[in-house]
Amino acid sequence: MKETGIQRVVPNIYSNNIERSKLFYNGFLGMKLAMDMGWILTFISNDNPTAQISVFKNTGNKPLDNTAIFISVEVSNVDYLYNRAKEQNIEIVYPLTNEEWDVRRFFVKDPNGATINILMHL
């Protein structure tokens, strides 16, 4: 039998506010809203459509705790997004830093409480 390869991995986040998620992933990160079924949104990279994040509406109204979710997003211009985060008053929880392993990055909180590590390699 032939082995199979992984084609993509999509993180899923639950949300109490789908519209704020749209503003964050589309308006801030600049990801394309590829699917909107009302209860699920799928955002894709304009440059690499297999780079995706899905946001599910919290239909069960259970308390959300996305604080343990930590997603890394590699971008081509981290300084641009850092400035956009400041302009849009997005919560920055780790400042723009050049790490010793040749990565420039900062962390923000998405509107659902997940931490997003926005980075680029130097």
DSSP string, 83-119: HHHHHTT--EEEEEEEETTTEEEEEEE-TTS-EEEEE
Distance from C-alpha of 111 to C-alpha of 64, rounded to nearest angstrom: 11
CB atoms near residue 118 (< 10 Å): 24
CB atoms near residue 116 (< 10 Å): 25
Which residue, chain included where needed, has tokens 């308390």?
Answer: 63
| Token pair belonging to 50 | 């297999």
One pLDDT digit (tens) per residue for the chain, 122 residues: 678 888 888 999 999 999 999 999 999 999 999 999 999 999 999 999 999 999 999 998 789 999 999 999 999 999 999 999 999 999 999 999 999 999 999 999 999 999 999 999 99
CA angle 86, 10, 1 (to 5 degrees): 155
- In this prediction the pTM is 0.92
